[in-house]
Amino acid sequence: ATEPTEQASRERERLEELRRLIDHHNYRYHVLDDPEVSDAEYDLLVQELRELEARHPEWVTPDSPTQRVGAPPAQGFVPVAHRIPLLSLDNAYRSEELAAWEARLERALGRRPSGYVAELKIDGLAVALTYQEGLLVRGATRGDGRTGEDVTTNLRTIRAIPLRLRRPVSLEVRGEVYMVRSAFEALNAHRERAGEPLFANPRNAAAGSVRQLDPSITAGRPLSIFLYTLSAVEGREQPETHWESLALMRELGLRTNPHVRRCASLDEVLSYVAYWGEHRHEVDYETDGIVVKVDRLDEQERLGATSHAPRWAIAYKFPAEQAVTRVQDIQVNV
């Protein structure tokens, strides 16, 4: 009879340890842009914590890393409160998990969603851009989802970000700042010659470049952007679907990723996932999966979000990105 208690206390200890480790890696990744472990290794820790919390819901606290997004703004930047939070995404690794997601949507909506949009998940730095009457007035990082960092001057140096839209509309868009692989390799080669520390991957190079206190450093870095969400738009142009909002963004001069597909069913989504699992290295930027979104915006609104992710979207991670190491094998110094 003492056994369950012993097991519970072991699990409790592991839970505390996982939270410490994950907080530490979040800080390295989101604040310092200098991770110590691979994303796959990090994801395993999070997965283990989620499993423990699923077994012991009474242990879930609002400050658990599973309930949060990113990290608070770093010192030196002016904090920006996001009117609409910038959340993370839930992950799926197998087709059954996508099917389970659809079953949850069906329960919540009372019927199957009318359709999906599948798009490449870009591995970069999430930002929100605010335009007022067509003019770029603010750019902010995601931060912890509620509060980000004001990086307007830095983002203004990225040529793919229009300073003025093609029509004088007021809106907010979200997207991912990234660095193409070839530019990342050239940048690291240059840093190596200069005896400077190297970036771990293009994502960290992009994030480190945007989160500079001196915009002239950002200006010298080869950055680009793909916008993927129209989070608010004022006026008469109200899209009814995500697909239409992507078209509207393009019309306004905002750069979107060409690799998107409107899917009537989950089977179509899965064939798109399979295609990109094979072809992902043919694009010159890092992508770690396919984001699947419910297409109709009224359905998105009805589904809403949890504290850390929308219910109407899910990230299907490519198999190659999935970890092969077991958590126990990972050496971490905290």
Q: Which residues are annotated as a binding site for NAD(+)?
A: 39-43, 88-89, 119, 142, 176, 293, 317
CB-nearer residue toward ligand NAD: 29 or 131: 29
Residues that bind ligand NAD (CB under 6 A): 25-26, 28-29, 35, 37-39, 42-43, 69, 88-89, 119, 121-122, 126, 142, 176, 228, 291, 315
CB atoms within 10 A of CB 45: 21
Place of tokens 């605010």: 130
- How far apart are CB 200 and ligand NAD at their closest, in Å? 8
Q: Look up 62 and say whether it is catalytic.
A: no
- How far apart are CB 165 and ligand NAD at their closest, in Å? 20
Q: What letter represents residue 4's amino acid?
A: P
Of these residues, 121, 211, 242, 259, which one is catalytic? Answer: 121
| Pairing assessment for the beta strands 287-294 and 260-263 based on DSSP bridges | unpaired
- How far apart are CB 58 and ligand NAD at their closest, in Å? 25
CB atoms within 10 A of CB 32: 15
Report how far residue 307's alpha carbon sits from residue 304's, in angstroms, rounded to the nearest whole number. Answer: 10
CB-nearer residue toward ligand NAD: 132 or 307: 307
DSSP assigned state of 228: E
Distances (CA, A) of 112 to 90, 103, 242, 266, 282: 19, 8, 17, 10, 34
CB-nearer residue toward ligand NAD: 102 or 119: 119
The H or E element spanning position 160 is none
Q: Are 296 and 113 in contact (CB under 8 A)?
A: yes
- How far apart are CB 332 and ligand NAD at their closest, in Å? 10
CB-nearer residue toward ligand NAD: 89 or 155: 89
Q: Which residues are catalytic?
A: 121
